[in-house]
Amino acid sequence: MKYHKRVCIAGPSKRFTSGISYYTIKLANAMSDPYQVSAICFRQLLPTFLFPGKDHVGKNISSLEFNSKVTVFDGMDYNNPFTWLGAYKFLKQQKPDVVVLQWWTSSVAHMHILLKLFARLTCKPKIIIEFHEVVDPFEESVLPIRIYSKFTGKLLRKNLNAYIAHSESDKELVAQRYNIDPSSIYVVPHGLYDQYGSPLDNEKAKSQLSIEEDFVILSFGLIRKYKGVNHLIKAFEQLPDEILQNSRLLIVGEIWDDRREITDQIAASSFKDKITLIDEYIPDDKVALYFSAADVVVLPYLRASQSGIAHIAMVFGKPVVVSRVGGLQESMADYDGTFFVEPGNVREITTEIAKQFGSEEKYETPERTWDTTLKYYNEIIAKLFD
């Protein structure tokens, strides 16, 4: 079914590759069949030396691309007014009926505000903001950033046409935190990240990673305090000896907070020879290798809205031990391979990991396609133009 509407989606480019980069591309591609879709990519988000993942900035670590139907302006830099002028001209040329702003950090709030202003000056579209995060704990902890976030956030969120969250719990948090009428906040399911190819044979994947143990416990993704990796290490140490001796704890992902906190904890562990830390951002072509080698994926988050890592684990049919927090309670509820634990409860994490030892069950991936995400968007856009 074709819709005679133009949609422009604004989000981060692949220069600062992240889950939101993937989401922006996936959403644009899904919407490009029924709509005329364009995209504005934020290329330079902040001074590179300030970015915790600076080592992978600008590297081509993902093969995911916008399809040929999507017209792309790449990119808009946080500090370059010439690129802002380019974004203005792009909007004037594209004349979108709907602009969708991807929100995940306040560090680019002024770019969102500029796009909101440009859109109102050029084509007066309906403007939607899609929340991937309600508030970043690091940004809240730094006074200048907190002041900037509060001021720019108010300007940005004022007089928008709709707001999107990915769970009912996030909807409630967004409404309370930003004093937004809940009736203007819509819940849209997050499509699964399924771009990493087919699973490999479990034993062959372990062999490629030089893992000799039978049982691989995988922690994957950016390592930050709220991800609870320190609790996972403690839980691993408390596994029964017959399981521990046959296990490998594989911690894979860039460390974004105090690196020494994790490395010192591992170094002090009595089982450090059973723990592997890979402190780097994993390119797309290696993701399948790590998930194929895993026998269980553990996400011991202390807080979360959503988790792209959980989505990948579901695509690979892996059992997932995950904290009962935020939107994860909803997004994981229909996956039979989900095993919930209370956040920070080391004993529960240990128990649920131990239950997976020796199990070879593969779980069915839930039906959560990007066509489903598109269906929800269709309903929202139709309502905005009623």
227-237 as b/e: b if 16+ CB within 10 A = bbbbbbbbbbb
**Residue 313's pLDDT is what?**
94
Q: What is the CA radius of gyration of the chain?
A: 21
**Residue 134's pLDDT is what?**
80
Mapped onto helix, strand or coil, the DSSP state of residue 73 is: strand
Smallest CA-to-CA distance from 72 within 121, 43, 104, 37 is with 37
The pTM for the full model equals 0.89
CATH 3.40.50.2000 for domain 6-191+369-384 = yes
CATH fold group of domain 202-356: Rossmann fold (3.40.50)
Q: Pairing relation of β-strands 6-12 and 98-103?
A: parallel
What contacts 362, CB < 8 A, 6 or more positions away?
317, 318
What contacts 269, CB < 8 A, 6 or more positions away?
233, 237, 275
**Residue-by-residue DSSP string for 97-160:** SEEEEEES-GGGHHHHHHHHHHHHHHT--EEEEEES-S--HHHHHSHHHHHHHHHHHHHHHTT-
**Residue 278's pLDDT is what?**
95
One fold for both 6-191+369-384 and 202-356? yes
**Residue 256's pLDDT is what?**
80
Distance from C-alpha of 248 to C-alpha of 268, rounded to nearest angstrom: 17
**Domain spans, the chain:** 6-191+369-384, 202-356
Is 280 in contact with 254 (CB distance < 8 Å)?
yes
The one-digit pLDDT tens for each residue of the chain (386 residues) are: 566 799 999 999 888 778 899 999 999 999 998 999 999 999 887 777 666 666 767 677 788 899 999 999 988 998 899 999 999 999 999 999 999 999 988 878 889 999 999 999 999 999 999 999 887 766 666 677 778 777 787 788 888 999 999 989 889 988 988 889 999 999 998 888 888 888 999 999 999 999 999 999 999 988 888 899 999 999 999 999 999 999 999 999 988 877 888 999 999 999 999 999 999 889 999 999 999 999 999 999 988 767 889 999 999 999 999 999 877 888 888 899 999 999 999 999 999 999 999 988 889 988 888 999 999 999 999 999 98
**Residue 149's pLDDT is what?**
76
165 membership: H or E segment, kind and range? strand 162-165
What are the Cα distances from residue 364, in Å, to 120, 234, 317? 45, 30, 6
**Residue-by-residue DSSP string for 212-259:** --SEEEEEES-B-GGG-HHHHHHHHHTS-HHHHTTEEEEEES-B-S-H
What are the Cα distances from residue 235, in Å, to 39, 256, 259, 335, 379? 44, 22, 20, 23, 44
What strands, in cross-sheet order, belong to the sheet with 185-187?
71-76, 36-42, 6-12, 98-103, 126-131, 162-165, 185-187
